[in-house]
Amino acid sequence: MGCAGGLAAGLEKGMKMDMDYFWLMDDDTEPTKNALLELLKKADYKTCLASIATDRAKQELSFGLWIKIDNKVKIFHFLSEVPEQCVLETLFVPFVGMLIPANIVSNIGFPRADYFIWGDDVEYVYRIRKNGYRVRYVRESIVFHPVHRKVSVNFLWRKNIVIIDSIDWKQYYAIRNHVYLYSRHREWRELIRSIIYYFLVWRTRGAKPGTLHFYIKGLWHGLVGKLGRNDEIMLQI
């Protein structure tokens, strides 16, 4: 079912049990002792809150944090860089310690199971924000999660673009789901940015002709709307 299908099934079952909140996370996420308590201190029914995911030394962030400060978006990669303020406005949080009220789930629905993996959280947070809800990190809430290998590259006039390095079959789902999301919502700037980003990913991973099909198929399937688990891709793992 993939992460998207699993979370969708879990939320659907949870909604039938009359829960107030859901705390969503990957199976390789380990909460610290007070992670949930710190979220609940700030919880309300109009806000999706999230823990900050770090390595076990609480130094490097598992994912870049897109924090909105003075109406400008800044990206942080180390916990020491993150402002001390308790609640941080953000454009995106992954499914790694996300606390979401049941009323938001009732309004916007479940994660799209046909995204399978990667990008399902991007689409879900996109819906949350489009429906007028807030999305925030809580600085005091920490969870441990493996850190993806990151590579810094330059492209044209842009310097130090951070690339998340992961195996090519996962990148297929990432580019497919992002292209589908941005093309359907006519977010052309984000669409072009995603295509360039995944070209850089392929180049960073060695620009091997034998892996190019993962990226081409991902782009094409995103444009034409071919979603779900792709068994042809999975057989190549």
Res 165 pLDDT > 80 = no
User: Alpha helices, DSSP H only, in the chain?
Assistant: 2-15, 35-42, 102-108, 120-130, 168-184, 188-204, 212-224, 231-234
Contact 230, 117 (CB under 8 A): no
Q: Is the pTM of this model over 0.85?
A: yes
Which among 125, 198, 189, 186 has a CA at the least distance from the CA of 161?
198
Q: Tokens in use for 192? A: 């072009």
Distance CA 95, CA 226 (A): 23
Domains detected in the chain: 2-144 (3.90.550.10), 149-234 (no CATH)
DSSP string, 35-72: HHHHHHHH--TTEEEEEEEE-TTS-EEEEEEEEEETTE
CA distance 51 to 36: 8
Q: What is the pLDDT of residues 75-107, one digit of tens each?
A: 888 899 888 876 788 888 899 999 999 999 999
pLDDT above 70 (res 155): no
pLDDT over 70 percentage in the chain: 95
Closest CA to 227 of 164, 165, 183: 183
Angle at 92 between CA 87 and CA 98, to 5 degrees: 65
